Each structure stands twice: as C-alpha cells, then as structure tokens.
Structure 1
Amino acid sequence: MAAVKVSISELERYLKSLKGKPLDASIDSLISLLKRRQVQGSEACAVATAHILLQVVAKTKFLDADHMLERVQQVGCRLVSAQPRELAIGNIVRRVLGLIRDEAAEDRNEGGDGDDDDDDDDVALTPSAAVPDPSKHNNQFPASTYAKQDAGADYISSGPRPVRPGALTSVSSFSVPKTLLSLLEAAPSALTPSVGSLRDSGTSTPMRGPQNTKINALRSEVIDGIEEIKDEISQADDQIASSAEVQIHPKDYVLVHQPSPTVQKFILRAATRRRFTVLIATEPPRDVTDEAPYASFRRKLAGVGIDSINIMNGGLTAHMSRISKVILGARSVLANGAVVTDAGAGLIARAAKERGNPVIVLSGVYKLSPESAATEESLIEWGSSMSQVSFADGSLVNGVEVRSAVTELVPPELVDTYITNLGAHSRNHLSSIIADHYKPEDVDFQLWK
C-alpha cells in the first residue's frame, strides 16, 4: 500500500506540472516516472496517459487527421516502451487512436456531399476554364441552388448561380474584324478582368480556412472524448461497487487477496446492506513493528458491523472449506480472459476451483486489453527478494538466486465472473467488449514502423 501512496503523490505532482511545462518536457518527465516506477498501478498509469495524450492533442499543430494519428501513436509507443508490463497505458493509447478514427470518419461523412460542389466551383473558376466555348456558353451556368462552405465552416445557400460578367461574353456575341490590331486590343480586355477577379476573390487558390476549421473541430471532439475516458476511469470503482449487493449474500464468507481500492470499495458497498464475514489474505509483515496489513480497511469493516479475519498466505488451504466465494482485483485482463493479479492469487484461485467456489474478478474496462501474451514471463513483474533472504546471510545471498514475484497470471479457466463498470460478464463476452472499445488496426500500434 505504501508504494501505491507514493505513486498517487507522484502522479498528483506530475499532473500539476503539466500547466507550466512544454509538451516535450512533459512527455519526457512521464517516461522517466514510468521507468523508475514512481508512477505505477493500472489506474495511475491510465490517468497519466490520458492527461499527456490530451496535452498532445491540444498543443500540437496538426495538418490533418493522419498527422494527429501519427503523433499520438509516436508518443504512445514511447510510453509503452517505458513500462511494457502496465497494459493500461497501451489500452488508453488505443482508445484515443480509435477516437481520432471515429471523429475523422464522421467529419468525412458529413462533408462528403458538400465537397463535390466545392470541387465543381473550383474547376469552373480556374483560369483554364475562364475562356468558355462560345457554342456551349449559354448552358455553362444553369440556374440551380447550391451550398458553399465559407472560411468559418458555415454552409450558405443562395439562389441561381450568377453569370460572371466580362468581355468574353461580348466577344462571343458579336462579330469582330479579325485584324492584327483588333486581336491585340481585344486580348487584354477579354482576359484581364477574369484573371483579376480570380486573384482578388482567392477562389482559384487553395484556401486554408476550411481545412483549419476541420482540424480544429476534430481536435475539439477528440479532447471531449479524452475527457470522457478520464471520467470513466475515475467513476469505474463506484460503478463496479454497484454490483456488490447482487454478488454477496447474507452470511457469506468472502475471501479477498491483498484487496485493492476497487475490491475494498466493492466490499464496503455490500456491507451497507448485507451481513457477512471477510477473510483477508495477505503477505506477512516484513517487520514485527509494522502495522497489521490493511488495518484501515479492517477498521472500516468493523465500523459497519462486518467481521474480518486476517490470513497469511501460507494458511489459506485450511480455511477454503468455509469460503463461499473469492474476489480478486485485477491489474489487467487479457483478451483470452487471463488475469494479471498480485502474486499469490493464483494459488487461491486454484484452491477455490478444486472446491467449486466461484472466483470473481473486478476490473474496469480500461484494464481490459486486446492483447494476448505470447509468454507468461512477459507479464510477470519481479521485485526485491529482501523479504525472503536477509543480506546478513552472505553465503545464501552469494550462492542462491532468490526471485520474488510481484504479479502473477491467473489462467482464464479459473475465473467464473468478470465484473466491470459495465456490469457482470462471462469470459465469452469479453471479446464483445474489446470490439466495442478498440479498433482492430490499433491492437498492435506499438509495432508500427
């Protein structure tokens, strides 16, 4: 829990620094924090990623939607490389890439009908089209209504298209003596007004106004979408907790393993309406002077009349016969349903499966990843072994390699129910949630060249 508090304080300090710091410096600062594990945990990493991508979208000058996609993808690759085991980082990057694609597609669909008219206008007003065929001149501009987008992106409807005045009309209507002098006198008077009017109007040259308006509108929509993602992350725990009364029944014996804030809020919400017993599986304290693990959580349970029992991981099997259900907090959930959790949860899930007890996993949708790990080793995080071996035992330290796992991968067949901020789901339903939140082309964005 101490590591989580440090991560939260570092995150808050980083978010406050975003206002007065240049964009590139903010990106480098977050990468440094991720590499040093000063910002860790799924929620903290997801929040930091959403904030920095919002800064990227808001502060970068983009040429078009493809440029925005490329820039977000570049920053996302750097963040994922800084801490590849935090899958929530990649999930948020994919969500933002999907936002850009959706908003760009909507803009194209909305502007598709007007683009053809604009193209026709440009062709009709180019210098090459300024000299019409006299035989077709009367049918060149039929009376019709049209819509034209101005520099402010507003659509203006007008009446019949006006016929542009000029000396060319008189040339095509009257017979002019074809002498050298008459041709020299007629050419400037015929061409100069048309070219001059085009230069003054600016219609024949590319206009940046509509394009800037489109990219600014896209930027605004993407920023709104990122704000919604931030709200989703902040509200996920409360929405997950709303399912607690359905999952926990009176007189249940509920086993939780190193309860995360999500699990604690879930249990406390059920405690407002139910009377049950909570068994908390924890690692033994490193020092006899340390406070009992999750003491504050136990005090909150006692305050609402819920009995709690602390169990060391080594004595779990002796209590499994009393357990009604197991509730685990997820660091991330893979596409196949496998769950990355704190080390030790796998043993609990296997024991529960043997006795037929349901295993429930709590996870926000932002932790649900479209990735499927090639190897378990790529997801397991290893920490310090100081709690297992003391440096005072020099011969053991020098002669034995001791590894202490921080996380563990729980196979999908050991999980019965996944509860997200969208409700309860089976393993087979996870693919539908992934399809709703991620674009297929963004699944492997970190591998783009």
Structure 2
Amino acid sequence: MSSKNVVDDLVAKLKRRQLVGSSAVAQETLKLMIVVISKAPLSTVNQLIDLVKSVGQKLVAANPTEPAVGNIVRRVLHVIREEYRDAENNTNKQGELTAPPSLTTSSSMYNLLGDPTSQQAVYGRYSHALRNNIIQEVKDIRIELETIYDNIKNQASLHIHSNEIIMTIGKSKTVEEFLKMAASKRKFQVLVAETAPSYQGQEMALELSKAGIETTVIPDSAVFAVMSRVNKVILGTHAVLANGGLVAITGTHMMAAAAKHHSTPVVVCTGLYKLSPLYPYDDDSFTVNINPDAVLGFEEGDLIEKVTVANPYYDYVSPDFVNLFITNQGGHPPSYLYRLIVENYHPDDHSL
C-alpha cells in the first residue's frame, strides 16, 4: 500500500471516529509517520519536513478535537530537526565540512523582532543514513508510548498512602492503572463521580472494585459536599495545554474547583504525548458538544422547542487548580511544563 493510501485510510478513520482514545490515535499516527518517512523519495530534509507537516495538517483537520495527532506529528518533526543537526555536527567534527550548517536563524534581537520567515532554518541533504536514524528515533517514541502506563503507575506508591480517601471522575485508563498499582501495596478508598450523562464513572468504579479496591460511586452533585473528607483528587485528562491547563471530561472543572476550595491536592496522571504546545486563547475552542438526547430526550418535544440544550463533552480546567502532573518522565508542577514543551517540540512546529 502506498503512503498516500495509508494517509487516506487514517484520515478516514479519524473522520469516522473509528479510533477511540488518545493512546490508540497516537500509536496509529506514529505508524503512519514511519511509512511516510520510509517511502518518501526526497533529496533534502526541508522537503521531508514539508511533507510531514502536510500529512499532519490533513490528520489534524480530520479530527480537530484530538490534540494527540498534532502532538505526535510535532514530536516527529522535532526528531527530524534534531537528527539532522546531530548529523551535521558529526560531519563537522570529522573535518568533512568546514562551513557550519546553513541556518538563517540568529539570536540577535533585531532578527527575533523582524520578519518571522527569515528565522526558518534551511536543512540540506537527506541521506539514507539520516533516514534510518530518524526512523529509529520514531520507533523509540512508539516504545515510549507502549510503556507509558508502566512508567506512570510505578510512581503510585509515592503519592497514595494507606487509609487515604481518593476522588476521581470519569473513566481514565491511566488513572485506573495508577490506582490498581497503588492498591497492590496500600489499602485506601476511592470515590468516583458518576459523570452524568455518559456515566463513565460507573464503568470506572466497576473496574476498580474488580481489583479489590473499596470504591463508592457518588452523583456529580455530591462532589462538593464530600470533598472535605477527601485526601487527594486524581484526574485523567484528554490533553494538557502549554499553560498547564487541562482539556478533560465534563465535570472535571467542578471537581478541581471544589478541591481548591477545600485545599485538597489535585494530581493529574498523563503521558507526555498529551502535552500540547497550544495555548487556550479561547476556552470554547476546546469544547465539543455532543448529542443532547441524554440530557433532554426527544420525547420531550414540547419542551425542546422552548429551550436550547447543550451537552459539552469536555471541560477546560485552569492550571491554577492543578498541583502536580505525574508523567512517564516523573512528577512535574504546572510551572515546569514549558520546559517539557521546549524539549519535545521545535518552535517552528507549534503551528502546523
């Protein structure tokens, strides 16, 4: 199958929402990137970057509500730039190239404030060895994704202690694995908000109870009332934005606000592939409204004509409500996320 067919196939899956969950989307995006890089008959790295960006734009447009797609594309672009730079440095050290890499970037304040197009780096020859190095690094990212749950849950005993009361909301595979690992060494109680109208919290509570964890389902309206008894709030998230804010299941903002009011620590478990370099300039841009039938059924025909019903699927949670992020690279406060963005994404790729 040609790379174009593979791209079209993934675009179709994203449009039809056939891939469920950020992890599955990220894995499929990485597989596609490996195919595109392997089969592209290109002569310069600039052409490769343009090709990857073009594919990334199609994937992001197919499902704009899944930031993991753009994050993975940006990670791959960062790998391409870093591998090219390393190859150029090695060539310089061997004396085969006396001139520095052809870069038009400059650290002068004049250029930083000047024409943005003049800051774009110019990348040269795309060799077979460089392509192999890039593919290997992308494969390493795949391995990182496959071991994310293990790396996060292994930190559980450092954050959950005996006889604590933990609160969470919705169904998050990361949080589920985190709590199950903690339960193998500690005895604690979990309160799960039911997350109406999707009731994902009930599914989460069932999985935790199967693992022998004392679990109680509470209605969303009771979150504030019982928060004073809670020792820690542990949340999953759909995406983490550049300022440390969250895009998470509806009801998360209410729980985080209640926790802040009661000075209860809020911990977010997430893989770094969910970290996006985008800023929430408009909170509503991350809101996805789904079928309101679960809130107000169509059988209420007379009432529906008189009201407007919104059923948002995601909340935006301010970084002020989060105390700690537990990632596959350790725990970090929200103020440190900017450093992780610098390490994983190139500034030229923030906007695909």
Q: How far off is 1:226 after superposition?
A: 0.9
Q: Out of 208, 211, 229, which is 1:301 matched to? A: 211
Q: Out of 71, 75, 96, which is 1:114 matched to? A: 96
Residue 81 of structure 1 aligns to a residue whose secondary structure is helix
Query: Residue in 2 aligned with 1:45?
Result: 25
Query: Residue in 2 aligned with 1:371?
Result: 278
The question of whether the paired residues in 1 share the 8 Å contact of 2:205 and 2:216 is answered with: no
Q: Out of 163, 186, 189, which is 1:274 matched to? A: 186
Aligned CA distance change for structure 1 residues 318 and 291 (closer, same or farther; 3 Å):
closer
Which digits, 9 at most, give the CA deviation of each residue in 1:43-84, with x for residues without a partner? 122111111111100111111211111111110111111122
Q: Out of 125, 131, 136, which is 1:224 matched to? A: 136
Q: Using the TM superposition, name which of 419-428 and 31-40 deviates more.
A: 31-40
Q: 1:229 is aligned with what amino acid?
A: I
Aligned CA distance change for structure 1 residues 342 and 285 (closer, same or farther; 3 Å):
closer
Query: Residue in 2 aligned with 1:248?
Result: 160
Residue 293 of structure 1 aligns to a residue whose secondary structure is helix
Query: Residue in 2 aligned with 1:25?
Result: 5
Q: Out of 126, 143, 146, which is 1:234 matched to? A: 146
The question of whether the paired residues in 1 share the 8 Å contact of 2:26 and 2:68 is answered with: yes
The question of whether the paired residues in 2 share the 8 Å contact of 1:334 and 1:371 is answered with: yes
Query: Residue in 2 aligned with 1:423?
Result: 330
Query: What are the within-5 Å matches in structure 2 for residues 375-386 of structure 1?
Result: 375-386=282-293
Q: Out of 61, 72, 81, which is 1:101 matched to? A: 81
The question of whether the paired residues in 1 share the 8 Å contact of 2:168 and 2:233 is answered with: yes
Which digits, 9 at most, give the CA deviation of each residue in 1:163-199, with x for residues without a partner? xxxxxxxxxxxxxxxxxxxxxxxxxxxxxxxxxxxxx
Q: What is the alpha-carbon distance in structure 2 between the residues aligned to residue 286 and residue 267 of structure 1? A: 22
Q: What is the alpha-carbon distance in structure 2 between the residues aligned to residue 325 and residue 295 of structure 1? A: 17
Q: How far off is 1:238 after superposition?
A: 1.1
Q: Out of 215, 223, 232, which is 1:316 matched to? A: 223
Residue 405 of structure 1 aligns to a residue whose secondary structure is coil
Of all paired residues, the percent bearing the same amino acid is 34
Residue 374 of structure 1 aligns to a residue whose secondary structure is coil
The question of whether the paired residues in 2 share the 8 Å contact of 1:236 and 1:421 is answered with: yes
Query: Residue in 1 aligned with 2:176?
Result: 264
Aligned: 1:355 with 2:262: yes
Q: How far off is 1:116 after superposition?
A: 5.7
Q: How far off is 1:293 after superposition?
A: 2.9
Query: Residue in 2 aligned with 1:343?
Result: 250
Query: What are the within-5 Å matches in structure 2 for residues 7-156 of structure 1?
Result: 21-112=1-92, 113-115=95-97
Q: 1:408 is aligned with what amino acid?
A: D
Q: How far off is 1:373 after superposition?
A: 2.0
The question of whether the paired residues in 1 share the 8 Å contact of 2:170 and 2:201 is answered with: no
Q: 2:242 is aligned with what amino acid?
A: A
Aligned CA distance change for structure 1 residues 319 and 103 (closer, same or farther; 3 Å):
same
Q: 2:137 is aligned with what amino acid?
A: G
Count of aligned positions? 326
Q: How far off is 1:106 after superposition?
A: 1.8
Residue 39 of structure 1 aligns to a residue whose secondary structure is coil
Q: What is the alpha-carbon distance in structure 2 between the residues aligned to residue 115 and residue 252 of structure 1? A: 62
Residue 267 of structure 1 aligns to a residue whose secondary structure is helix
Which digits, 9 at most, give the CA deviation of each residue in 1:18-64, with x for residues without a partner? xxx32211111211211222224221221111111111001111112
The question of whether the paired residues in 2 share the 8 Å contact of 1:58 and 1:223 is answered with: yes
Q: How far off is 1:88 after superposition?
A: 1.1
Residue 347 of structure 1 aligns to a residue whose secondary structure is helix
Q: What is the alpha-carbon distance in structure 2 between the residues aligned to residue 110 and residue 347 of structure 1? A: 53
Q: How far off is 1:318 after superposition?
A: 2.3
Unaligned runs of 5+ in 1: 1-20, 118-210
Aligned CA distance change for structure 1 residues 431 and 286 (closer, same or farther; 3 Å):
closer
Aligned CA distance change for structure 1 residues 215 and 359 (closer, same or farther; 3 Å):
same
The question of whether the paired residues in 1 share the 8 Å contact of 2:171 and 2:203 is answered with: no
Q: How far off is 1:298 after superposition?
A: 3.2
Which digits, 9 at most, give the CA deviation of each residue in 1:192-225, with x for residues without a partner? xxxxxxxxxxxxxxxxxxx99x621111111111
Q: How far off is 1:86 after superposition?
A: 1.3
- Superposition RMSD in Å: 2.1
Residue 327 of structure 1 aligns to a residue whose secondary structure is strand
Q: What is the alpha-carbon distance in structure 1 between the residues aligned to residue 302 and residue 215 of structure 2? A: 41
Aligned CA distance change for structure 1 residues 115 and 375 (closer, same or farther; 3 Å):
same
Q: Using the TM superposition, name which of 35-44 and 347-356 deviates more.
A: 35-44
Q: What is the alpha-carbon distance in structure 2 between the residues aligned to residue 326 and residue 42 of structure 1? A: 22
Q: What is the alpha-carbon distance in structure 1 between the residues aligned to residue 97 and residue 150 of structure 2? A: 46
Aligned CA distance change for structure 1 residues 353 and 286 (closer, same or farther; 3 Å):
closer
Query: Residue in 1 aligned with 2:114?
Result: none
Q: Out of 386, 411, 423, which is 2:318 matched to? A: 411
The question of whether the paired residues in 2 share the 8 Å contact of 1:301 and 1:307 is answered with: no
TM-score normalized with structure 2 length = 0.88
Residue 193 of structure 2 aligns to a residue whose secondary structure is strand
Residue 372 of structure 1 aligns to a residue whose secondary structure is coil
Unaligned runs of 5+ in 2: 100-123
The question of whether the paired residues in 2 share the 8 Å contact of 1:62 and 1:215 is answered with: no
Q: 1:300 is aligned with what amino acid?
A: K
Q: What is the alpha-carbon distance in structure 2 between the residues aligned to residue 89 and residue 291 of structure 1? A: 26
Q: What is the alpha-carbon distance in structure 1 between the residues aligned to residue 234 and residue 151 of structure 2? A: 16
Q: Work out which of the two has the higher radius of gyration on C-alpha atoms and give 1 or 2.
A: 1
Q: How far off is 1:283 after superposition?
A: 2.8
Q: How far off is 1:109 after superposition?
A: 2.2
Q: 1:253 is aligned with what amino acid?
A: I
